[in-house]
Amino acid sequence: MKDEKQAKVTDEDLIKSFDDGKYEEYKKEAQEKWGSDTIQRSENIVKNMSKEKLEKIKAEGEEINRALARNMEEGKSVDSSEVQAIVDRHFNHIIQFYDPTWPLLKIYRGLGKMYVEDDRFAANYNKYYPGLAQFMCDAMEVYCDRKKDEGEKRK
């Protein structure tokens, strides 16, 4: 029998990873927005993970959200070194689901906007702390601007 910790993520695991049971609905919406090929590539990345790794990623996401909420509650600004360190962790957490050849900063900036423009995302983040979705969006903008500036300075 296969070691459970090394078992790969299955279609059933992907479906179960969405607590509200709307995986197929979200998948269809994502395919319409970003294309079937993009979504399939992202799904394949997840399916090549072990179940243990996916669980660790989910737990890390919770930690990151709580840390950002704590910093917001403490009155830290989106451009503070503390918040930006957490956002860097968030960026590296998120890109585990993306193909490294994709324009990651552009995707990340768009994701931040989606956190406030899509009520479902906003509700998910605002449950940690009221206004967290906008705080994250703003912090992600700062992060992307700084990374873009760093890249241009290296040229």
What pLDDT does residue 117 have? Answer: 95
> What is the total count of domains within the chain?
2
Q: Which residues of 123-134 are buried (b: 16+ CB within 10 A; e: fewer)?
A: eebbebbeebbb
Query: Do residue 118 and residue 133 come from a single domain?
Result: yes
Residue 132 domain flag: yes
| Whether 81 contacts 102, CB under 8 Å | no
Residue 42: C-alpha distances to residues 64, 97, 109, 137 (Å) = 21, 6, 18, 22
What pLDDT does residue 155 have? Answer: 42
Q: What is the pLDDT of residues 98-119, one digit of tens each?
A: 999 999 999 999 999 999 999 9
What pLDDT does residue 152 have? Answer: 56
Query: Do residue 120 and residue 153 come from a single domain?
Result: yes
Query: Do residue 90 and residue 107 come from a single domain?
Result: yes
CATH code of the domain in which 84 resides: 1.10.490.50
Q: Is pLDDT of 92 > 80? A: yes
User: Residue 67 and residue 79: Cα distance in Å, rounded?
Assistant: 15
Domain that holds residue 15: 9-48
Q: Is pLDDT of 134 > 70? A: yes
Q: How confident is the model at residue 151 (pLDDT cuts 50, 70, 90)?
A: low
Residue 1 domain flag: no
Query: Do residue 78 and residue 147 come from a single domain?
Result: yes
Residue 79 domain flag: yes
What pLDDT does residue 137 have? Answer: 98
Query: Do residue 121 and residue 68 come from a single domain?
Result: yes
> Mean pLDDT across the stretch 137-155?
82
Residue 140: C-alpha distances to residues 16, 41, 83, 126, 133 (Å) = 28, 24, 10, 16, 10
Tokens of 33: 């927005």
User: Residue 96 and residue 72: Cα distance in Å, rounded?
Assistant: 25
Query: Do residue 26 and residue 93 come from a single domain?
Result: no
Query: Do residue 108 and residue 64 come from a single domain?
Result: yes
What pLDDT does residue 42 have? Answer: 84
Query: Do residue 91 and residue 141 come from a single domain?
Result: yes
